[in-house]
Amino acid sequence: MPNNFEHNRICKKQGYDKRMCEFVNKWMDEPASKFPGCQHRNFRHSKQDCDFIASEILKRTGIREKAIQGKNICMIHRIVDKRADKGCGCRPLFED
């Protein structure tokens, strides 16, 4: 399962801002402290969650481009987790 270091590395490799990568990836994986392993992916890993974090970034910054970047980072995180899924079958990752 990819950790935040790996998520951030992939995110930065895609050309996204380091701080935005760290912010979004940390937010997405915060539930892992209560729900270990792939169980945490049932929280903050859906397409709607990516829309939510984008709207929060827009509220905080007022910058549409940053909100779009945040949503894209969230979607990349989902793709990376989906590829690494080893039978966990997390519903939010497989809804599309």
**Which residue is listed with tokens 């940053």?**
66
pTM recorded for the entire structure: 0.90
- Under a CB-based contact definition with an 8 Å cutoff, are residues 77 and 28 in contact? yes
Angle between helices 47-61 and 18-29 (to 10 degrees): 130
Q: How many CB atoms lie within 10 A of CB 51?
A: 13
Count how many domains the chain has: 1
CB neighbours of 39 closer than 8 A, spacing ≥ 6? 88
Q: Which string of DSSP letters, residue by residue, matches 64-76?
A: HHHHHHHHHHHHH
pLDDT-based confidence at residue 91 (cuts at 50, 70, 90): low
What phi, psi does 29 have (nearest 5°)? -95, 5
Check pLDDT > 90 for residue 48: yes
pLDDT tens column, 20-43? 999 999 999 999 899 887 788 889
Q: Residue 84 is part of which domain span? A: 4-94
